[in-house]
């Protein structure tokens, strides 16, 4: 197996520096502290998400994260960025073991991916790594980013520039940013992007359904169903949601709808991934690395 051409954790720090708008590529101790505080807040919101909270807690921990604030975007990227980036790779490997034929093959080196609830879209890293690990199977990646918060757009552009393009030098990227709220009727804005969406080979739904309350699941499905209906070929859907205790009611209705219209290749109720081996392993021991400075207790 070939190791990535970049040090991912370093690149993630460069991205965080952009998100915080600091000059230079690295976070000084002040920004490490601010990022660490944001990480705690983001993780606390996740732990409490969907729970019926009382009194003070309601004020502190909202039901979804306000990603228009850069501290939450930074906290999210620092908390989950590396893991989500590597998770897609492991996800593809698991599907490959079950049925390799369902994994779309790029046509003349071209693949179209639609990312629903894109955020910084770090999950693209694992996808590109899976395809281009041994040879450059994807040479042109077309991406549709579907996202509610337009504030993510520049972070996503930075992610493409500082991570994807540096790690996969031969890759050409063509992207579309589609700003819609999945909890509202998005058919008009989605239909304006008909041609790009219809070409989707893969749809990624990573860590988004848990953000949208049960009350809106019908509308979320209406939007997703529209995309599925216009796809002009077979499409592989990868869905990953965290197993937060109280959010299953937000996720299950969409999974039920999907299983009515699609063949389930692989289903796992709950699974723990540990990134401690293989080419995509998370390194925490180097005292200069971002992970060490952010997550080691003495810091």
Which residue among 152, 162, 168, 257 contacts ligand SAM (CB under 6 A)?
A: 152
- Of residues 220 through 249, those in contact with ligand SAM by CB under 6 A are none
What residue number has its CB nearest to ligand SAM?
119
Pick 32 or 122: Cβ nearer ligand SAM: 122
Please identify, among the stretches 3-11, 89-97, 115-123, 274-282, the one whose residues bind ligand SAM according to the rule CB under 6 A. Answer: 115-123
Which residue among 148, 199, 250, 293 contacts ligand SAM (CB under 6 A)?
A: 148
Which residues, at least 6 apart from 177, have a Cβ–Cβ distance to it below 8 Å? 145, 147, 150, 153, 156
Which residue among 138, 211, 227, 290 contacts ligand SAM (CB under 6 A)?
A: 211
Q: Cβ of 230: how many Cβ atoms within 10 Å?
A: 16
Please measure the distance between the N-terminal and C-terminal CA atoms of the chain and give it in whole angstroms. 34
Rg of the chain taking only CA atoms, in angstroms: 19
Pick 64 or 136: Cβ nearer ligand SAM: 64
CA distance 232 to 218: 24
Question: Exposure of 106 by Cβ count < 10 A (0-12 exposed, 13-18 middle, 19+ buried)?
Answer: middle
Considering the complex, what minimum distance in angstroms separates the CB of residue 295 from ligand SAM?
18
Please identify, among the stretches 10-18, 22-30, 176-184, 271-279, the one whose residues bind ligand SAM according to the rule CB under 6 A. Answer: 176-184
Please identify, among the stretches 106-114, 134-142, 203-211, 265-273, the one whose residues bind ligand SAM according to the rule CB under 6 A. Answer: 203-211
Say whether residue 50 binds ligand SAM (CB under 6 A): no
Considering the complex, what minimum distance in angstroms separates the CB of residue 130 from ligand SAM?
16
Pick 56 or 272: Cβ nearer ligand SAM: 272
Which residue among 16, 27, 122, 235 contacts ligand SAM (CB under 6 A)?
A: 122
Considering the complex, what minimum distance in angstroms separates the CB of residue 194 from ligand SAM?
19
Closest CA to 77 of 146, 9, 171: 9
Question: Exposure of 86 by Cβ count < 10 A (0-12 exposed, 13-18 middle, 19+ buried)?
Answer: buried
Q: Which helix (H) or strand (E) holds 192?
A: helix 187-192
Is residue 296 within 8 Å of residue 284, measured between CB atoms? Answer: yes
Please identify, among the stretches 106-114, 119-127, 131-139, 163-171, the one whose residues bind ligand SAM according to the rule CB under 6 A. Answer: 119-127
CA distance 158 to 74: 13
Pick 56 or 68: Cβ nearer ligand SAM: 68
Is residue 76 within 8 Å of residue 42, measured between CB atoms? Answer: yes
Pick 111 or 220: Cβ nearer ligand SAM: 220
Please identify, among the stretches 1-9, 29-37, 177-185, 228-236, the one whose residues bind ligand SAM according to the rule CB under 6 A. Answer: 177-185
CA distance 26 to 22: 8
Pick 139 or 255: Cβ nearer ligand SAM: 255
CA distance 55 to 38: 22
Could you tell me the CA-to-CA distances from 17 to 21, 23, 75, 285 in Å, in that order? 6, 7, 12, 21
Binding site for ligand SAM (CB under 6 A): 67, 76, 80, 84, 117-119, 122-123, 147-149, 152, 181-183, 206-208, 211-212
């Amino acid at each position: 197996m070939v190791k990535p051409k970049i040090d991912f954790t370093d690149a993630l720090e460069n991205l965080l520096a952009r998100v915080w708008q600091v000059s230079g590529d690295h976070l000084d101790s002040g920004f490490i502290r601010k990022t660490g505080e944001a990480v705690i807040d983001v993780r606390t919101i996740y732990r409490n998400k969907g729970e019926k909270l009382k009194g003070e807690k309601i004020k502190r921990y909202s039901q979804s994260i306000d990603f228009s604030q850069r501290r939450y975007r930074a906290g999210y990227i620092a908390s989950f960025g590396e893991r989500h980036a590597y998770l897609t790779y492991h996800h593809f490997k698991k599907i490959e073991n079950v049925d390799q034929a369902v994994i779309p093959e790029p046509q003349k080196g071209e693949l179209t991916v639609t990312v629903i609830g894109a955020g910084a879209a770090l999950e693209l890293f694992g996808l590109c790594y899976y395809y281009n690990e041994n040879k450059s199977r994807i040479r042109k990646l077309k991406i549709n980013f579907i996202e509610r918060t337009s504030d993510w757009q520049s972070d996503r552009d930075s992610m493409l520039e500082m991570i994807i393009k540096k790690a996969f030098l031969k890759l050409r990227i063509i992207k579309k940013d589609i700003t819609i709220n999945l909890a509202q009727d998005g058919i008009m804005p989605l239909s304006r992007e008909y041609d790009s969406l219809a070409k989707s080979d893969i749809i990624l739904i990573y860590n988004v359904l848990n953000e949208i309350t049960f009350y809106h699941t019908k509308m979320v499905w209406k939007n997703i169903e529209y995309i599925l209906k216009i796809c002009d070929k077979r499409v592989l859907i990868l869905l990953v949601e965290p197993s937060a205790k109280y959010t299953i009611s937000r996720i299950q209705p969409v999974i039920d709808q999907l299983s009515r219209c699609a063949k389930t290749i692989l289903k796992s109720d709950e699974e723990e991934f540990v990134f401690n081996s293989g080419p995509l392993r998370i390194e925490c021991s180097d005292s200069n690395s971002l992970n060490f400075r952010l997550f080691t207790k003495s810091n």
